[in-house]
Amino acid sequence: MKFKLQYKQLRFFLLFKTQILILLLVSLYYPFQLIASSDSVYLNDGKPLNYQTSLRSLEKKDLTLREAVNLVLQHNPELAAFAKEMNALEGATQQAGLFRNPELSVNVENAGNINKLSGDINSPEAVAQEVVQQVTTIRISQLFELGGKRAARTAAALLNEELASKDYETKRIEIVARVANAYTDVLAGQERLRLAEATMQLAENVVNAVVKRVQAGKVPPIEETRAKVGFSTTQIEREQAQRDLVAARKRLALLWGDHSPQFNQALGNLESLVPLPSIEKLEERVLENPAALRALKNIEQRKALLEVEQTRRIPNLIVNAGVVHHAQLGGNTAVAGLAIPLPLFDRNQGNLKEAHQRVNKAIDEKAATELRLKTELAQAYEPLSAVWNEINILRDEILPGARSAFEVTKKGYELGRFGFLELLDSQRILFQNQILYVRALANYQRLVNEIERVIAAPIDELSATASIPHSGNNEEY
């Protein structure tokens, strides 16, 4: 059977296919344009050009904490993933605010019976032919969302974007604290290496002093052997400190994706300390942490989702209009219709109950988040007070005494007033207390980093900066 299309119908289908072809060509063109533009900013190894430039700028250059933080914030993949999520949610918000597309439907009944009536149109044959004639119905339907559904859906999507922004800020602060801790490890490693080299130099001086006394016949040769064994021990300690520093440098560089550190040394002063604000003042700042703000924003977002579910109780309206074409009679008839669901059984009861419970859950999560942050603050604040006292005692009492005792013992050994064991013991006590001092300073900085992560702000914004004075010795504290 042959199907003959009328001229208007043929023109409609040709126009429709032409538009589809244009859309396909456009959709194929723009992705290739995006791929071409994105490839121009990457090297063969897949790293961005500015990433390689940043790493080359660190070669044989001293590194500051600010530079380290900037490198990590620019090139850390975890943070980049959160940024991509924020961009994705912008698209979700855009989609939530769009109107529903209209629908076009074409219905053909008794296809092919399009011959014109001839002869007596009132004859039984003509009447039978008219009953089975081809009828073409073209309709356009449009769904209208009632009850403010689109506005509620858009508001919820915007709040979801804000939640993603808070997640990004939380991760950013966490990464900054991680960088600060790794940077503190590098600074502490540099100080331990410096102390180990200074101690090795002291041990070498002791060996020289013992050799002179052995050669003068004032002490037995066994003391020279003991002195050389002590010197070898300091060499081992220096090598261990050097290995620890290499590992700390690599851990820091890995945060921005560099497997081989390019910087020369980390700049900073472990002795730069900040007086502690009161715990009450810090607890007030805890509520400004992005995690606490996110928990508060989460309640708003859950309430917005509850409003979305409430709007869904109101049924939508579907309006359609079109034309019916009778092939044999050659006439057109306009048709229109309305459709609306009757909310007899499904009134969105289950989704409303779920949304109410989600709001209550968000309120509980907010309280739990604030409690967790205050607990973390207390867990860092109490040890910080103890470390502060430890630093003061080591700096003001123990280290000056140990240094003075070593100098006196060394001078007295050269004069024959003290034995070799007293000299080794005073040297060991001095080195151990110097290491304890460096560890206490590093622990203090780590605890400060933890508190700053919890309050999401530098402590020196709440108190004036104080610096522990140096001893004036370039080799010792």
Could you tell me which residue, 35 or 359, shows the higher pLDDT?
359
- Quick check: is 364 in a domain? no
In a domain, 267, yes or no: yes
Q: Summarize pLDDT for 181-217 with one digit per residue, the tens.
A: 999 999 999 999 999 998 888 888 888 888 887 887 7
Give residue-wise pLDDT tens across range 160-189: 999 999 999 999 999 999 999 999 999 999
The pLDDT score that the predictor gives to residue 271 is 85
Q: Tens digit of pLDDT for each residue in 335-354? A: 899 999 998 899 999 999 99
What's the CA gap between 35 and 46, in Å, rounded?
14
Instruction: Give me the CATH number covering residue 397.
Output: 1.20.1600.10
Question: Token pair for residue 187?
Answer: 């600074």
126-132 long-range Cβ contacts below 8 angstroms, 24+ apart: 129/328, 130/328, 130/329
- In a domain? residue 469: no
> Does residue 415 belong to any structural domain of this protein?
yes
DSSP state of 459: G
pLDDT of residue 472: 33
Task: Provide the mean pLDDT of the chain.
Answer: 80
What's the confidence (pLDDT) of residue 201?
A: 87
The reply to whether 39 falls in a domain is no
Report the DSSP pairing between strands 466-467 and 272-273.
antiparallel
CA 449, CA 458: separation in Å to the nearest integer?
Answer: 9
What is d(CA 48, CA 52) in angstroms, rounded to the nearest whole number?
A: 7
In this predicted model, what pLDDT tens digit does every residue of 387-427 receive, in sequence order? 988 999 999 999 999 999 988 888 887 777 777 778 778 88
Domain assignment present for residue 322? The answer is yes
Q: Is the pTM of this model over 0.85?
A: no
Burial (CB < 10 A; 0-12, 13-18, 19+), residue 202, is buried
Instruction: Decide if 390 is inside a domain.
Output: yes
Q: Is residue 193 a part of any domain in this protein?
A: yes
In this structure, which amino acid lies at residue 3?
F
Cα separation, 439 vs 391, whole angstroms? 10
Q: How many CB atoms lie within 10 A of CB 118?
A: 9
User: How far is CA 39 from its chain centroid?
Assistant: 25
CB atoms within 10 A of CB 116: 10
Q: Could you list the residue range(s) of the whole structural domain that residue 389 is in?
A: 64-113+132-340+373-460
3-class DSSP state of 318: strand
pLDDT tens-digit series, residues 365-385: 999 999 999 999 999 998 988
How many domains, in total, are found in the chain?
1
